[in-house]
Amino acid sequence: MKKLVILGAGCAGTMVANKLRQKLRKEEWQITLIDKDNNHVYQPGLLFLPFEIYQPEEIVRPRSKYVSKGIDFVVDEITKVDAKEQVVETASGRFPYDKIIVSTGIDIMPDEIDGMMDAWYKSAFDFYTLQGAINLTEAMKNFREGRMVLNIAEMPIKCPVAPLEFIFLADWFFHEKGVRDKVEIILVTPLSGAFTKPKASEYFSTLAESKGIQIVPDFDILEVDAEKKQIHSGQKTTVDYDLLVSIPPQGGARYLVDSKVAMDDTGYIQTDKHTMKATKHENMWVLGDVTNIPTSKAGSVAHFSGDVLVENFISEINGEPLTASFDGHSSCFIETGFGKGALIDFNYDFEPLPGKFPLPGVGPFTLLGESKANHWGKVLFKWVYWNKLITGDDMPLASSMSLAGKDSD
C-alpha cells in the first residue's frame, strides 16, 4: 500500500486530507495526518477576541472531529523530514512516505526583535496566537487613553489584511467605550502605505485617514525599548506607544530549516506557484502559509490552491501531465467597523479592483468599498469554515479569479 503523509492539521492540511481521502482508493493509499496537538483554531476568529466579539471557546475545536474516516490522525511532535529517504520523524515514531504534503503553517517570532521580549505580554501583545489574543483582550479592556500602536515588523505575514481590520475595529471599539477622543491609533508599517497593492493601499489609507487613524510608512523596526515604551527603526525613527500591538516576524518550523527542506532560515519551502509542487524535493507538495508563492498567506489561498494541488496530485499518480494551474487567487473580507466590511479579490496578475462580487453588477458584495453585506460575509464565513471548507466539501467559488464584475479601467 502506498503512503501519503500530510504534515499539519490546520486549515490547509485538514482540507486537503479530506479531499484526497474522497478521491484515493483506501485499498491503495494510506493517508496519515500529523500535528502536535488536537486543538484546531479558527484563525480568522483570533482578530475578534480582543474586542470581545468572540470568546476563545467559540474558535477552538478538536482537530480529530474534522478528520474524515479512513485518515490516520497522529498527535505527535514532528522533529525531522528526511526528503531523500522519504521519512518523517516524530518524537515517538517514524513515518515513511511515497508522497508528502507539507502544510505546517508559520509561527510568530517576537524574539527576533531586540528588546521585544522585555515588553512581551506587559506592554506589547499579539493577536496571531490564541494566548496572545486572550492577553490582548485584557489589555484592550483596561485601555482608556493614550497611544495604541499597531506595528508590522516585516512582510510576509499571515493574513495581511488582519492589521487593517484590527485598527478599524479598534476605532469602533473605543468609540463604543466612549473614549475614542482620548485614544490615538497609529499603524506603523514597513510598507509605503496601508496595503501591498497600489489601488487597495490608496483605498485603505484614505479610509484610515477618515477614521482619524495615522499611518507611519516605511518603518523597519529594529528594537523595542520596553522601559521607555518606544519602538525604533533602522533609520533611527522613534515611535512612542502606551499599548503596542505587535505583528512580529514570521516563519516556518525550525525542523524544516534543520532538515534542509526549507529554502533558507525563514522556514519557507520553495514551491512552484502554479502546480503547488516543491521545486527542490521529489514527491513533495506544499500548501498554505509555508509556501513561498507570491500571493497572500490567507485561508482563501489555501482553499483555491488546495483544489489545484488535489487535481495535480491525482494527475501525477495516474502518470498524467499536471494541467491544473493556480493563478494566485486570493479573496478576503475585511472588517472596517460599525457593522461594515470591505472585500478584495485578486491574483498574481491583477491587483484588487473595485466592482461587485461574485455576480457582475449585482454582488451582493462590494469590492474595494464598505457595505453591511461584506460584514455579514465575514461573519458567516465561520459557519462555512467549520461545515464546508475544512471538511473538504465542494465550494461554489472557482479556484481561478474572474474579472467579471470588476472595474479594470
pLDDT range class, residue 147, cuts 50, 70, 90 = very high
pLDDT of residue 160: 94
Instruction: Collect all residues with Cβ–Cβ distance below 8 Å to 98 and sequence separation of at least 6.
Output: 2, 3, 4, 86, 283
Q: Is the confidence at residue 252, as pLDDT, over 80?
A: yes
CA-angle at 256, arms to 254 and 257, nearest 5°:
65
Q: What is the arithmetic mean of pLDDT over 79-91?
A: 98
Could you tell me what percent of the chain has a pLDDT over 90?
96
Question: Model confidence over 151-192: pLDDT tens digits?
Answer: 999 999 999 999 999 999 999 999 999 999 999 999 999 999
Q: Is the confidence at residue 397, as pLDDT, over 90?
A: no
The full DSSP string for 176-199 is HTT-GGGEEEEEE-SSSSSSSSHH
What is the rounded distance in angstroms from the CA atom of residue 217 to the CA atom of residue 289?
A: 25
As a CATH number, domain 109-249 is 3.50.50.60
pLDDT of residue 159: 94
Asked whether 328 and 293 are in contact (CB, 8 A), the reply is yes
Q: Is the confidence at residue 333, as pLDDT, over 70?
A: yes
Cβ atoms within 10 Å of 212's Cβ, excluding its own: 12
Q: Is the confidence at residue 395, as pLDDT, over 70?
A: yes
Asked whether 277 and 293 are in contact (CB, 8 A), the reply is no
Instruction: Collect all residues with Cβ–Cβ distance below 8 Å to 80 and sequence separation of at least 6.
Output: 88, 89, 255, 258, 259
Asked whether 201 and 215 are in contact (CB, 8 A), the reply is no
pLDDT of residue 197: 87
Q: Is the confidence at residue 307, as pLDDT, over 80?
A: yes
**Position with higher pLDDT, 256 vs 408:** 256
Say which CATH topology domain 2-107+251-317 has: FAD/NAD(P)-binding domain (3.50.50)
The distance of Cα 161 from the centroid of its chain, to the nearest Å, equals 9
Phi, psi of 325, rounded to the nearest 5 degrees? -135, 125
pTM of the shown model: 0.96
Q: What is the arithmetic mean of pLDDT over 47-67?
A: 97
What is the rounded distance in angstroms from the CA atom of residue 32 to the CA atom of residue 11?
A: 16
Q: Is the confidence at residue 408, as pLDDT, over 80?
A: no
Q: What is the arithmetic mean of pLDDT over 362-389?
A: 96
pLDDT range class, residue 396, cuts 50, 70, 90 = confident
Q: Is the confidence at residue 276, as pLDDT, over 90?
A: yes
Domains 2-107+251-317 and 109-249 share a fold: yes
Looking at residue 290, the DSSP 8-state letter turns out to be: G
Measured on CA atoms in the order 113, 117, 119, 123, is the torsion positive or negative? positive
* Bridging pattern class, strands 250-251 and 107-108: antiparallel
pLDDT of residue 409: 64
Could you tell me the residue ranges of all domains in the chain?
2-107+251-317, 109-249
What is the rounded distance in angstroms from the CA atom of residue 73 to the CA atom of residue 13?
A: 11
